[in-house]
Amino acid sequence: MATATTPVAEVCAQAKRAARTLAQLDTATKDSALHAIADALAERSGEICAANERDMEAGRSADIGSALLDRLMLDEARVRSIADAVRDIAALPDPVGEVIGGQRLANGLQVRKVRVPLGVIAVVYEARPNVTIDAAALCVKSGNAIVLRGSATAEHSNAALAQIAAAAASSAGLPDGAISLVAGGGRAELAELATQTESVDLIIPRGGEGLKQALETVATVPVIYAASGNCHVYVDAGADEAKALAIAMNAKTQRPGVCNAAETLLVHADIAPSFIPKVFEDLAQAGVEIRADGRALALARAGGVANGSDPGPTSAPAISRASEEDWATEYLDLTLAVGVVDSVAEAIEHIARYGSGHSEAIVTRDLAAARAFQAGVDAACVYVNASTRFTDGGEFGMGAEIGNSTQKLHARGPIGLRELCTMKYLIEGEGHVRT
């Protein structure tokens, strides 16, 4: 497997050579390679966890925070889950060669539109070692070569995972360079990778706004941004309060350090007097710090959740007044902005102003309100009476994902097998010439 000791341009050139072979491999060979990767992960899970512990120790020493540590951590159960996701990808239909359109023209030419691999995909990601395997498996199944570039935070975990996957894939018949890892070169290495226009067909960054901005300034290779998730849950006037509480709590607390966790809760003014004290109490018990607008704070105080000043009781997490910055922040932690709105339209307007186009949810029993929310919210995933936490390739039946695209061209939402393909027109004639 190519690593950081090999120049980036050479790694990418080898991947380009491998991509030509991968594009023509039959499904059985690709699936065999995926099963070999899954088996190797299971057999060498102890080695993987030992490498991960080195990263975890460094992360704790650097005080990177509980949310990032949770994203970084691997144990035997998580490694098994990663291996299972690889097997799930192997079981999916092969998108390569799928006919997605076609017709016989009036002049007799037969035209077919089929899916084909993109070629070489570079994936740049932060503190999520599972992405190493998810991305590699999706690229193998879709006939693409992959160049991985993880963060220094997960250096040892990524190296172990990529080496195991590359070796297993080669043993099953995949060409050398099908799975490669570059690491350790800092921003200069990232810039070099982002400008390999002769060999890299697409870059997918999976990380925060800092990574996105770093690529925007240098990339000459096409980019699909799997960017930040400033996600909202809106509780409508006629919502079922029990369901709304469950959805709001799940969206915020089930795993707060991920991009599909809720960062803002909006509550309709008609239901807010009864709902706000209940949800504030549940959030406080879960250790969530609350940044609320004036109306939400007043309702919380009236319900006995917060005392007369903005901060909450000393025994509970802080409850304070939200600033303009709070509405625009992706916390990735146990912090939630809470506001009261007067209508579905106002909720939609708030989301349009502060949301990142990732995942948004409404809780309601009003069909008209649900349809207005679905039509009015511009995001990759829009939920009715469900948590934003379901925005995930695995949950969507894709086996896994490389990331969630928040842009609109080519791919939007979870990036799975079909999103890693492009199209080719195949035209067959019988000596046709154009007159």
Beta bridge mates, 265: 233, 338
Length of the chain: 435
- Average of per-residue pLDDT values in the chain: 92
Whether residue 239 is predicted with pLDDT greater than 80 in this model: the reply is: yes
Structure confidence at residue 57 (pLDDT): 97
Structure confidence at residue 149 (pLDDT): 94
Contact present, 231 and 360 (Cβ < 8 Å): yes
Single-letter residue type at 57 = E
Whether residue 314 is predicted with pLDDT greater than 80 in this model: the reply is: no
* % the chain with pLDDT above 90: 80
Q: Average pLDDT for residues 52-79, to the nearest whole number? A: 93
Of the candidates 128, 126, 123, 34, which has an alpha carbon nearest to the alpha carbon of residue 74? 128
Of the candidates 41, 282, 281, which has an alpha carbon nearest to the alpha carbon of residue 163? 41
CB-based burial of residue 170 (10 Å sphere; 0-12 exposed, 13-18 middle, 19+ buried)?
middle
For the chain, the straight-line distance linking the first and the last C-alpha, in angstroms and rounded, comes to: 53
Q: Which CATH class is domain 231-390?
A: alpha beta
Cα–Cα–Cα angle for 28, 150, 17, rounded to 5 degrees:
45
Where do the structural domains in the chain lie, given as residue ranges? 8-226+402-428, 231-390
Beta bridge mates, 235: 267, 363
- What pLDDT band is residue 311 in, cutting at 50, 70 and 90? very low
Q: How far apart are CA 350 and CA 355, in angstroms?
A: 8
- What pLDDT band is residue 258 in, cutting at 50, 70 and 90? confident
Residue 189 DSSP SS3: helix
Structure confidence at residue 4 (pLDDT): 47
Report the relative pairing of strands 262-268 and 202-206 from DSSP bridges: unpaired
Q: Which CATH class is domain 8-226+402-428?
A: alpha beta
Helices and strands counted in the chain (H then E): 15, 16
In angstroms, the Cα distances linking 187 to 192, 214, 220 are 9, 8, 15
* % the chain with pLDDT above 70: 95
Of the candidates 121, 138, 139, which has an alpha carbon nearest to the alpha carbon of residue 201? 121
Q: How far apart are CA 321 and CA 380, in angstroms?
A: 30
- What pLDDT band is residue 308 in, cutting at 50, 70 and 90? very low
Structure confidence at residue 307 (pLDDT): 56
- What pLDDT band is residue 1 in, cutting at 50, 70 and 90? low
Q: How far apart are CA 301 and CA 233, in angstroms?
A: 22
- What pLDDT band is residue 317 in, cutting at 50, 70 and 90? low
Structure confidence at residue 210 (pLDDT): 81
Structure confidence at residue 319 (pLDDT): 92
- What pLDDT band is residue 50 in, cutting at 50, 70 and 90? very high
Single-letter residue type at 253 = T
- What pLDDT band is residue 424 in, cutting at 50, 70 and 90? very high
Structure confidence at residue 6 (pLDDT): 75
Whether residue 81 is predicted with pLDDT greater than 80 in this model: the reply is: yes
Q: Where are the beta strands (DSSP E) in 38-109?
A: 99-104
pLDDT in tens, 94-116: 999 999 999 999 999 999 999 99
Of the candidates 111, 146, 134, which has an alpha carbon nearest to the alpha carbon of residue 19? 146
> Rg of the chain's alpha carbons, rounded to an integer?
24
- What pLDDT band is residue 5 in, cutting at 50, 70 and 90? low
pLDDT in tens, 166-203: 999 999 999 999 999 998 667 888 999 999 999 999 99
Q: Average pLDDT for residues 88-92, to the nearest whole number? A: 96
- What pLDDT band is residue 257 in, cutting at 50, 70 and 90? confident
Query: How many Cα atoms occupy the beta-carbon half-sphere of 221 within 13 Å?
Result: 28
Of the candidates 390, 386, 384, 392, which has an alpha carbon nearest to the alpha carbon of residue 415? 392
Q: Average pLDDT for residues 250-263, to the nearest whole number? A: 94
Q: Average pLDDT for residues 396-404, to the nearest whole number? A: 84
Q: How far apart are CA 358 and CA 384, in angstroms?
A: 15
Q: Please, which residues have CB within 8 angstroms of residue 177's CB and are 6 or more apart in sequence? A: 2, 11, 14, 15, 17, 18, 145
Contact present, 70 and 257 (Cβ < 8 Å): yes
pLDDT in tens, 114-168: 999 999 999 999 888 999 999 999 999 999 999 999 999 999 999 999 999 999 9
pTM score, two decimals?
A: 0.84
Query: Per the structure block, which two tokens stand in for 404?
Result: 């969630």
Query: Per the structure block, which two tokens stand in for 392?
Result: 């995930």
Structure confidence at residue 138 (pLDDT): 96
Which region among 8-17, 130-139, 307-316, 326-335 has the lowest average model confidence (pLDDT)?
307-316
- What pLDDT band is residue 406 in, cutting at 50, 70 and 90? confident
Whether residue 316 is predicted with pLDDT greater than 70 in this model: the reply is: no
Q: Please, which residues have CB within 8 angstroms of residue 256's CB and are 6 or more apart in sequence? A: 67, 331, 332, 333, 334
